[in-house]
Structure formats: structure tokens, C-alpha cells
Amino acid sequence: MIKVAISQKPPAILDLKGSVALAVKLIQEAANNGAKLIVFPEAYLPGYPTWIWRLRPGGDIGLANEIHTRLRENSVDVNKGNLDPIAQAAADNRIVVVIGAHELESEFSGSTLFNSVFVFDADGSLLNRHRKLMPTNPERMVWGCGDASGLKVVETAIGRIGCLICWESYMPLARFALYSQNIDIYIAPTWDNGDTWIASMNHIAREGGCWVLSTATAMTGADIPADFPGRSTLFENDEWINTGGAVVVKPFGGILDGPLHREKAILYSDIDIDAARNARKSLDVAGHYNRPDIFQLHVNRNACPPVEFIECK
């Protein structure tokens, strides 16, 4: 059995350094409680952009631009070592870390943001970076579209882990791309919550024959900092902006632990990795229940290159 930890505690909104420091403390806390894996919510560094669902389309452009500037300045730049403290905490505590972040693409445009999830092994090595394939609805005002270079399952100290972010879990081909890589633990950092989302996690656990771990950030208006642009008009102190919903679902379906609601806490659970492969005896959608003679999935895992400019003479 392996103990896993799923955090739904809020970050320091629009404060990358503060959010990284909080993440390091939570990694240490989880490890001290015996966890070998800790999962953070979607865009934890430095917080999901919940304001995009509240700004008036076309009516709050100035405010939206001000917030986005702050966000860009506090997004993760891998080339600058912003995630080094996370890697070090993983290594120091011998724990696998899965953490979501706003990622700044600094090599080419220097301004595009991606919704990314990073997987660090228990030795601190970065095993995978997956960028959300398709930002949902107004999220496209914040993030660019990712590619499939990170659409893979990786071998970690505790088992084979694959990640899809939020509504990517409603993309059947993306799910199958993970199922077809001998997945043990399917991790779904999200902003969604509630009965419909939990039902979807149950479906995925049954469909994929794998453990499913998911969480959103449990956050109230009081977690929004006082200097947040437009705070007084966008948020109320006593409102629950998101109730969380950290959950662990067994292979082939059925909730093992959670979901946590309205608790800024860590959910702990003991899971048996071997249960995933055992569950696929009855239904193996990428194996004996597959029909490769009829259905074939081709995934372009090449990283999207920058636009090549050709000088005309």
C-alpha cells in the first residue's frame, strides 16, 4: 500500500514566490505524514484565474489587462529555475510531486502562457511537463493551446502516472492516449467540482482500469489578496469561490476517500498500485477489449515549433 496526499489548500494568489513557498511546506507536511505522492490543483502556481469567469466580456479590458500583466510576471519560467525549490523538496522528502502551474513560454514569444502540469519523481528529477491541449471557453483569454509532447505516462518511484488537466478529461482520445500506456494512476488537476465531475472521475476509473486522483482549489473570497486589481467588485470575502472536491477513486470505479468540500485541507488515502492492472481483467480498453483492426489512434507527440519566418528576396 502507498499513501497519497491530495492538497486543495489555496496558494498565494498572483504571488509565485509565495505560492512556491507554500507548496514546499505542503510537500514537507505530506511527507511527514507518510505520503509518497502529493497532488496539487490545476494552475496552483500562482492560482487558477477564476476572475476570467467574472469579468464582463469586452467591458473590463483595462482591468483584465492589468490582472494578466501581474499573472505573467508571476508565472513559472522553467528556464529561470522557478521550479527548482519544488524539485529540491521532492528530493529532500523522497516524494513524487504533481503540480499545476501557469507556465511562461520564454524561449520564443516571451509572453504566451500555458496551463501546465509538472511531474517530479522522488529524486527531484522532472519526468514530464504536459500543457493543456485546449483551454476551455474564456480560459483562452489567458492560455495558449498546448501540444501532445507531454501526453504520456511516466514511470515514477510509486508507479506509472499520467495527467490530464480539468476538461481534457472530457476528450475521449486524450484519455485513450493515456490508457494505452499502461497507466496506474490517472491524475486530473481541475477547477471543476460537484456531482457531475465526481461521476466523470468514476467513469474514467472504470473505463481506464486505473486509480483516479483529482482536486480543485478550496478557496474563499478571503484568500484573494487585498491588492488584487478590482477585488472589491469581483469577490466577496465570505463566498466560497470553489469548494475543492479532492477525491480518490478506485480502479473500475467507486470512491475510496473524499470528496472534501469546503475544507482547506489535504486528503490522505492508502492505495494499492497493483489493483489497477488487476481491475483490467474484465475490461481492458487498450488491450483485450480493444479492436486495433478497426480503431487506430495516432498521436503527434512532436513539440509545436515556433513559426519559421522566411525572408523573401
- The residues that are catalytic are 42, 132, 166
Residue type, 268: Y
DSSP string, 289-304: T--TTT-------SPP
Q: Which of 212, 179, 198, 210 has its CA nearest to residue 289? A: 179
d(CA 262, CA 20): 23
d(CA 61, CA 93): 44
The torsion angles phi and psi of 304, rounded to 5 degrees, stand at: -65, 120
d(CA 21, CA 27): 10
Q: Please say whether the dihedral angle defined by the alpha carbons of residues 293, 275, 169 and 144, taken in this order, is positive or negative.
A: negative
d(CA 304, CA 112): 13
